[in-house]
């Protein structure tokens, strides 16, 4: 495929890049004198509420959404928005209940919380575990999916050039520290939203034109409702014995009411509340600023499907009518992860550059945020505690920078020939499924650590390891042991005919069993050591201001209206 970009597109993109680079350099030079490690890793006291909210969105919305979620929009429709819309509720819960505990107890990293609440063994184990997860699943996936999306636009033969360019751009921003990341993310979000909305607008007008109803985006949206009504169902019904392959595949990915019973909340609360990558933006602020910033990001989450899901649905309708360019087909078949790039290919000169900037902004911001989180965990939870206890502030910062360089280098190496097979799976579901192996145990350890003082360190360690083992059993062997239909689950055949349990159902049950397991162990084997719990939790920490109540009310009203409309 030849490049579809013209000179004006490159000029728009270069302007975006220079704006971010120079603004980031300005922020870096402004804070360089007497730089401390707390400022480098957390931007302590430096980020405003709108910077926190924008940075959370910029870090969250990346290639996995633009590429993976648009691809799921192509296959599943609006239902994939459940991750975004329930994510808004997850952010509300985090803002009200999680963040006050972290800030009151001066928690700067997630392993630090586990060490302070349980013991050093739990904290160290999870620090190492998170490092592997962030490097080999999250960072690598973001870089790979982003490279696919951009190389589809730039043209054949540039895959590795694009990959290295994205990595270098993220590296430039990341080595400046969290303050540079936080404030450049404001610019990234601007391009992300403006460019994303432009792409959605064009997609809808293309649909309108294809069906002879003019160039109205509203007419295009109405045509989507008419041509693909099944793509505007939020809740899939459980398949029957007569259901087709496509219906079964949709339900396995998003198992209707079953996922809302537990699994989706496990995924959301773990991601938004127990994830260094996200919470780090708010851990350096005061409670009011942190809470307002998180609620602001929850409000923005409601509108993300317009940017990342609707283009995928539009691509589906256009594909059904033969309206997509042939170069987007692979061996005559359209790959769902090409959906967003297929829409971008129709953009006019100049606007294509703006959307390219939006996609790049999302990818680079997420790479930078993830790399900074990796550096924070390694430097503060491993190096500073065990390897360099007497290290100076300057040395700690440079250890952080070297960790960033190493993490990004590993991601490039792993992705060079797609060593872990991300390209063989739907990108968004690849990330969700494999992080879902660990989400139940992590969330259980945090929730019981917050709200049940009798939880022991032995139970926490056993819960994390046990939930991982149970997740593997659900995924690989449980159907062989118990069959395809039980009280706990219904298994369905995948594209190869192998019966599998929907991973969101598995995640829910693993979480329930882990909670029961941890409570049982804590009661049977109380540990005197655990009386040294240093985490303070009081009811007054959860009081919220009137302005926060109003914002929460607005978010919940909008969310309720959306589900009523598209149930």
Same domain, 129 and 252: yes
56 in any annotated domain: yes
Contact status, residue 75 vs residue 245, Cβ threshold 8 Å: no
Q: What is the mean pLDDT of residues 422-427?
A: 55
Taking residues 403-408, what's their average pLDDT?
A: 90
> Which residues is 329 bridged to in the sheet?
334
The predicted structure's pLDDT at residue 269: 92
Q: Calculate the average pLDDT of the chain.
A: 81
pLDDT at 94: 93
pLDDT of 253-285, one tens digit each? 888 888 888 788 998 898 898 888 788 778 878
More confident residue, 294 or 239: 294
Q: What pLDDT score was predicted for residue 56?
A: 85
Residues 488, 429, single domain; the answer is: no
Strands 492-493 vs 499-500: parallel, antiparallel or unpaired: antiparallel
Q: Residue 50: how many CB atoms within 10 A of its CB? A: 15
The whole model's pTM is what? Answer: 0.84
Is there a single domain that holds both residue 141 and residue 181?
yes
Q: Are residues 91 and 201 in the same domain?
A: yes
Compute the average pLDDT of residues 399-404. 88
CA dihedral for 359, 362, 367, 368, sign (positive or negative): positive
535 and 101 in contact (C-beta within 8 Å)? yes
Write out pLDDT tens, residues 176-205. 766 666 667 777 777 778 778 888 888 898
Kindly report which listed range (9-18, 410-419, 438-447, 527-536) carries the lowest average pLDDT score. Answer: 527-536
Among residues 433, 467, 499, the one where a domain terminates is: 433
Asked, for residue 548, whether it belongs to a domain, the answer is no
487 and 373 share a domain? no
Q: Is residue 565 part of a domain?
A: no
* Residue 550 covered by a domain: no
Domain residues for the domain of 402 are 7-433
Give the mean pLDDT of 23-30: 70
How confident is the model at residue 320, as a pLDDT? 81
474 occurs within a structural domain: yes
Count of structural domains, the chain: 2
Final residue of a structural domain among 408, 433, 458: 433
Lowest mean pLDDT among 48-52, 289-293, 354-358: 354-358
pLDDT in tens, 454-474: 899 899 999 999 998 998 888
* 161 & 204 share domain: yes
Residues 235 and 376 in one domain: yes
* Range scoring the smallest mean pLDDT among 91-95, 261-265, 297-301, 356-360: 356-360
What CATH number has the domain bearing residue 416?
A: 1.20.1730.10
Residue 214 is classified by DSSP as T
Whole-angstrom Cα distance, residue 106 to residue 340?
A: 42
| Residue 370 and residue 253 share a domain | yes
Pair (175, 207) in one structural domain: yes
The contacts of residue 231 (CB under 8 Å, 6+ apart) are: 73, 76, 77, 78, 224, 313, 316
Residue 546 lies in a domain: no
488 and 409 housed in the same domain: no
> Minimum mean pLDDT among 303-307, 533-537, 554-558: which range?
533-537
The pair of structure tokens assigned to 21 is 């680079």
Q: Helix 351-376 crosses helix 7-31 at what angle (to 10 degrees)? A: 30
The residues that bridge with 539 in the sheet, in sequence order, are none
Q: How confident is the model at residue 97 (pLDDT cuts 50, 70, 90)?
A: very high
> Does 320 reside within a domain?
yes
> What is the per-residue pLDDT for 331?
46
Cα atoms in the Cβ-side hemisphere of radius 13 Å centred on 229:
1
* 567: confidence class by pLDDT, cuts 50, 70, 90: confident
Higher pLDDT, 552 or 171: 552
- Cα gap 508→266, rounded to integer Å: 7
Question: Does residue 563 fall inside a structural domain?
Answer: no
Place of tokens 């980031």: 24
Tell me the per-residue pLDDT of 224-255, one tens digit each, with 9 for 90 and over: 888 888 899 888 888 876 777 778 888 888 88
Q: Looking at the structure, do residues 278 and 241 belong to the same domain, yes or no? A: yes
Cβ contact 404:410 at 8 Å: no
| 150 and 183 assigned to the same domain | yes
Helices 178-210 and 217-227: crossing angle in degrees, nearest 10, is 70
Domain stops at, among 379, 409, 433: 433
Query: For residue 182, what is the enclosing H or E element?
Result: helix 178-210
**Banded pLDDT at 323 (limits 50, 70, 90):** low
For residue 360, is pLDDT > 70? yes
């Amino acid at each position: 495929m030849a490049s579809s970009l013209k000179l004006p597109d490159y000029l728009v993109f270069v302007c975006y890049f220079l704006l971010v680079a120079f603004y980031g350099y300005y922020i870096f030079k402004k804070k360089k004198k007497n730089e401390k490690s707390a400022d480098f890793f957390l931007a302590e006291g430096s980020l405003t509420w709108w910077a926190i909210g924008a940075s959370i969105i910029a870090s969250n919305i990346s290639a996995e959404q633009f590429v993976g979620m648009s691809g799921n929009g192509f296959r599943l429709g609006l239902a994939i928005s459940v991750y975004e819309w329930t994510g808004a509720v997850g952010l509300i819960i985090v803002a009200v209940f999680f963040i006050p505990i972290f800030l009151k107890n001066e928690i700067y990293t997630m392993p630090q919380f586990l060490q302070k609440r349980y013991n050093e063994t739990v904290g160290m184990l999870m620090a190492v575990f998170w490092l592997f997860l962030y490097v080999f699943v999250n960072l690598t996936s973001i870089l790979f999916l982003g490279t696919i999306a951009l190389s589809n636009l730039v043209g054949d033969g540039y895959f590795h050039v694009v990959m290295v360019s994205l990595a270098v751009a993220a590296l430039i921003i990341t080595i400046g520290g969290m303050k540079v990341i936080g404030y450049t993310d404001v610019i990234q979000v601007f391009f992300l939203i403006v460019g994303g909305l432009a792409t959605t607008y064009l997609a809808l007008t293309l649909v309108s034109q294809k069906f002879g109803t003019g160039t109205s985006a509203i007419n295009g949206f109405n045509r989507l409702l008419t041509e693909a009504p099944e793509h505007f169902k939020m809740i899939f019904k459980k398949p029957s014995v007569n259901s087709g392959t496509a219906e079964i595949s949709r339900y396995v990915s998003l198992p209707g009411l079953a996922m809302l019973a537990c699994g989706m909340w496990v995924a959301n609360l773990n991601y938004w509340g127990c994830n260094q990558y996200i919470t780090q933006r708010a851990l350096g602020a005061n409670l009011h600023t942190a809470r307002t910033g998180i609620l602001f990001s929850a409000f923005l989450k409601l509108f993300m499907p317009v940017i990342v899901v609707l283009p995928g649905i539009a691509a589906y309708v256009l594909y059904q009518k033969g309206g997509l360019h042939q170069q987007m087909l692979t061996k005559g078949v359209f790959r769902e992860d090409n959906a967003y790039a297929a829409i971008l290919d129709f953009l006019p000169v100049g606007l294509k550059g703006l959307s390219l900037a939006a996609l790049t902004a999302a990818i680079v911001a997420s790479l930078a945020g993830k790399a900074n989180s990796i550096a924070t965990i390694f430097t503060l939870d491993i190096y500073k505690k065990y390897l360099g206890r007497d290290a100076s502030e300057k040395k700690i910062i440079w250890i952080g920078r070297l960790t960033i360089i190493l993490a990004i280098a590993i991601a490039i190496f792993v992705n060079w020939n797609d060593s872990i097979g991300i390209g063989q799976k739907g990108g968004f579901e690849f990330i969700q499924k494999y992080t879902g192996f660990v989400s139940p145990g992590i969330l259980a350890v945090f929730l019981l650590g917050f709200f049940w003082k009798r939880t022991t360190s032995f139970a926490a360690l056993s819960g994390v390891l046990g939930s991982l083992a149970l997740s593997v059993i659900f995924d690989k062997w449980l159907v062989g042991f118990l069959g395809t239909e039980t009280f706990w689950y219904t298994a369905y055949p995948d594209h190869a005919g192998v019966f599998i349990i929907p991973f969101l159902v598995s995640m829910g049950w693993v979480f329930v069993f882990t909670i029961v397991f941890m409570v049982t162990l804590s009661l049977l084997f109380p540990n005197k050591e655990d009386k040294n719990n240093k985490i303070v939790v009081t009811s007054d920490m959860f009081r919220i201001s009137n302005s926060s109540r109003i914002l929460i009310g607005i978010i919940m009203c909008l969310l309720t209206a959306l589900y009523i409309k598209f149930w």
